[in-house]
């Protein structure tokens, strides 16, 4: 046997050993096997979340709630415990800033504010299936960044809920903590005189990120060199006031955030001097059709904001899916949105006592121009108004979670645009005690079903709601409304429930020794 033959045999043995090792150590063990039809879906092994700085008000009271549903078994076979921690998204302490006393927390003048310690966890999740919560008061609460791994990573969710009881920013502000990304669309922002809207950019990484902010109004792009090349230092958060980017006062804007380098979490804090405030989350990715679920039945004013992306205009059918079926709101048989421009439409009190969802789709000859969209929703009247925002969202998919719910005040809204849908809703144990409860709901095609969700028996603290689409179900879109009324003001916030991306497709692989043939 010559030297070249021995070398070939040795290479084949080595390759077989490598491919064999990769097969038996694939994450998830047996569940990693994929058939010939496509890739296997495996639980993710690591997740990242970012929460913006809650408020500039000294009266702000913020609750953080984190939760991972049971069922994500990444790392479980290897005995990995996993971790899920949210910490302040700030650079490490280097200036020896002293700790804040109790008197300082009450706002005593002359004291140096405490700089948050990035190494001290604000909230830590210890096991799947049991939520954890933490609180923060005042305007010093920082943005948070964190990660989860092992069995705590698949479906890891966190909610930030802030109550401001008085002042110009009196409101309930709620937002899902989101994954870092490089591209975000926010239809529904404004630079009107009564508004004060900030884009919060949070960088979780060890190197600086550079972001651009573009504004699009009713006449197209608004020129602003100030919005270009915004540096977001490593492990920090930067709020950008939209009115500093342009001198134009626009009632309705679409904000586009992209990064030149790095990645960020982005969300808009929208405040109205007359109608409260809330967080405006990013719209679903641009697409020809969009779904906006869960307009409260008692909404007193609803405004639709749409932006058309691409070279062609968009002609859209607008349908409201209510409790018994879908219909076209008066005067909105079709709407026209010019390419590269933001259009808005006043729907007034369109729901008239029944919760509903808005369905946007191209007309038969309207082409496939991608759009992004959101709703501004007002409850109450006069000086007792409160505002929330509902962006277009992706379907629930396999599973989604609303992390922060109380004994009273939560409403789930489901809509099934095309075919009947079935969802299972699980109420987790409470943060301080209680037993989980489960209930299944069926949604008729073309309708919206609004329900008071199950509550853990013997609930103590807050709890999480997990929604799972059942086998054979059509696509379903969902949102959760959390109502926390105060002093006669119907304060509330709405969060959509897109797929939690707790699993990832892993292509099938097999060893192929034919590459060694001469």
Per-residue pLDDT of 324-341, as tens digits, reads: 999 999 888 899 999 999
| Residue 81: predicted pLDDT | 77
Backbone angles phi, psi at 445, to 5 degrees: -60, 140
Other beta carbons within 10 angstroms of residue 372's beta carbon come to 26
Average pLDDT over residues 197-212: 97
Reported as a pLDDT band with limits 50, 70 and 90, residue 119 is confident
What is d(CA 518, CA 203) in angstroms, rounded to the nearest whole number? 51
344-363: pLDDT as tens digits: 999 999 998 999 999 999 99
Q: What tokens were used for 507? A: 């292509």
Answer for the pair 278, 387: CB distance below 8 angstroms, yes or no.
Answer: yes
Does residue 18 have a pLDDT over 50? no
Does residue 25 have a pLDDT over 50? no
93-118: pLDDT as tens digits: 333 332 333 333 344 344 445 667 87
Answer for the pair 46, 151: CB distance below 8 angstroms, yes or no.
Answer: no
180-191: pLDDT as tens digits: 999 999 999 999
Closest CA to 347 of 296, 312, 394: 296
Does residue 48 have a pLDDT over 90? yes
476-486: pLDDT as tens digits: 999 999 999 99
Higher pLDDT, 36 or 213: 213
Reported as a pLDDT band with limits 50, 70 and 90, residue 508 is low
In sequence order, what are the beta bridge partners of 270? 197, 278
| Residue 413: predicted pLDDT | 98
Average pLDDT over residues 19-33: 37
Element (H, E) at 465: strand 463-469
CA 96 to chain centroid, in Å, comes to 35
Reported as a pLDDT band with limits 50, 70 and 90, residue 71 is confident
Answer for the pair 289, 360: CB distance below 8 angstroms, yes or no.
Answer: yes
Does residue 64 have a pLDDT over 70? yes
> What is the signed CA dihedral for 256, 260, 262, 265, rounded to 10 degrees?
-10
Reported as a pLDDT band with limits 50, 70 and 90, residue 38 is low
What average pLDDT is seen over the chain?
87
Q: Which of 47-56, 64-73, 287-296 has the lowest mean pLDDT?
A: 64-73
Output DSSP code: residue 288: S
Other beta carbons within 10 angstroms of residue 26's beta carbon come to 17
Average pLDDT over residues 163-175: 91
Reported as a pLDDT band with limits 50, 70 and 90, residue 366 is low
Backbone angles phi, psi at 102, to 5 degrees: -60, -35
| Residue 107: predicted pLDDT | 42
| Residue 511: predicted pLDDT | 61
Proportion of the chain above pLDDT 90, given as a percent: 76
| Residue 1: predicted pLDDT | 47
Give the highest mean pLDDT range of 28-32, 106-110, 154-158.
154-158
What is d(CA 500, CA 518) in angstroms, rounded to the nearest whole number? 48
Reported as a pLDDT band with limits 50, 70 and 90, residue 49 is very high
Q: Which of 90-99, 135-144, 157-166 has the lowest mean pLDDT?
A: 90-99
Does residue 74 have a pLDDT over 50? no
| Residue 499: predicted pLDDT | 97
Average pLDDT over residues 214-232: 95
| Residue 168: predicted pLDDT | 77
Reported as a pLDDT band with limits 50, 70 and 90, residue 507 is confident
Reported as a pLDDT band with limits 50, 70 and 90, residue 409 is very high
| Residue 352: predicted pLDDT | 87
**What b/e string do you get for 263-289 counting C-beta neighbours within 10 Å, with b at 16 or more?**
bbbbbbbbbbeebbbbbbbbbbebbbe
Average pLDDT over residues 72-83: 59
What is the number of helices (H) and of strands (E) in the chain?
A: 2, 38
| Residue 91: predicted pLDDT | 60
Average pLDDT over residues 245-269: 97
| Residue 505: predicted pLDDT | 83
Average pLDDT over residues 438-466: 98
Domains, the chain: 3-42+505-516 (no CATH), 47-94+115-278 (2.60.290.11)
What is d(CA 70, CA 208) in angstroms, rounded to the nearest whole number? 35
């Amino acid at each position: 046997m010559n030297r070249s033959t021995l070398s070939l045999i040795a290479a084949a043995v080595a390759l077989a050993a490598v491919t064999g090792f990769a097969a038996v150590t694939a994450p998830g063990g047996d569940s990693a096997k994929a058939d010939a039809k496509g890739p296997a879906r495996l639980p993710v092994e690591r997740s990242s979340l970012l929460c913006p700085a809650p408020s500039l008000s000294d009266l702000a009271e913020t609750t953080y709630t984190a939760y991972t549903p049971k069922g994500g078994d990444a790392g479980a076979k290897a005995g990995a415990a996993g971790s899920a921690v949210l910490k302040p998204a700030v650079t490490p302490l280097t200036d020896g800033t002293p700790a804040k006393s109790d008197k300082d927390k009450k706002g005593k003048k002359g004291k140096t504010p405490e700089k948050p310690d990035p190494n001290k966890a604000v909230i830590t999740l210890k096991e799947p299936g049991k939520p954890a919560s933490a609180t923060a008061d005042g305007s010093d609460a920082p943005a948070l960044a964190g990660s989860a791994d092992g069995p705590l990573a698949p479906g890891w969710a966190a909610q930030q809920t802030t109550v401001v009881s008085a002042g110009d920013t009196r409101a309930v502000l709620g937002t899902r903590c989101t994954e870092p990304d490089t591209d975000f669309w926010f239809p529904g922002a404004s630079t009107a005189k009564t508004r004060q809207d900030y884009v919060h950019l949070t960088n979780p990484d060890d190197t600086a990120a550079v972001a651009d902010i573009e504004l699009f109004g009713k006449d197209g792009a608004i020129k602003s060199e100030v919005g270009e090349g915004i540096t977001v230092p490593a492990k920090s958060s930067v709020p950008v006031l939209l009115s500093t980017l342009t001198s134009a006062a626009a009632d309705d804007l679409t904000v586009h955030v992209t990064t030149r380098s790095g990645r960020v979490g982005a969300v808009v804090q929208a405040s109205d001097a007359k109608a409260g405030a809330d967080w405006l989350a990013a719209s679903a990715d641009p697409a020809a059709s969009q779904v906006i679920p869960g307009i409260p039945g008692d909404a007193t004013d609803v405004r639709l904001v749409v932006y058309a992306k691409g070279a062609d205009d968009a002609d859209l059918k607008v349908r409201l899916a209510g409790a018994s079926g879908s219909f076209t709101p008066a005067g909105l048989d079709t709407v026209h949105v010019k390419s590269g421009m933001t259009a808005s439409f006043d729907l007034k009190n369109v729901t008239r006592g029944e919760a509903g969802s808005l369905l946007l789709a191209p007309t038969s000859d309207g082409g496939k121009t991608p759009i992004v969209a959101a709703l501004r929703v007002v409850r109450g009247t006069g000086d007792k108004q409160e505002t929330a925002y509902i962006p277009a969202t992706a379907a629930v998919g396999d599973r989604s979670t609303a992390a922060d719910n109380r004994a009273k005040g939560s409403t789930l809204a489901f809509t099934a645009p095309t075919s009947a849908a079935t969802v299972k809703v699980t109420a987790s144990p409470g943060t301080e005690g209680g037993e989980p409860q489960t209930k299944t709901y069926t949604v008729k095609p073309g309708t919206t079903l609004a329900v008071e969700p199950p509550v853990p028996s013997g609930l103590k603290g807050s709890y999480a709601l997990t929604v799972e689409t059942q086998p054979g179900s059509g696509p379903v879109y969902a949102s959760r409304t959390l109502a926390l009324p105060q002093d006669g003001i119907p304060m509330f916030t709405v969060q959509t429930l897109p797929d939690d991306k707790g699993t990832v497709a892993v292509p099938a692989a097999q060893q192929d020794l034919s590459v060694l043939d001469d």
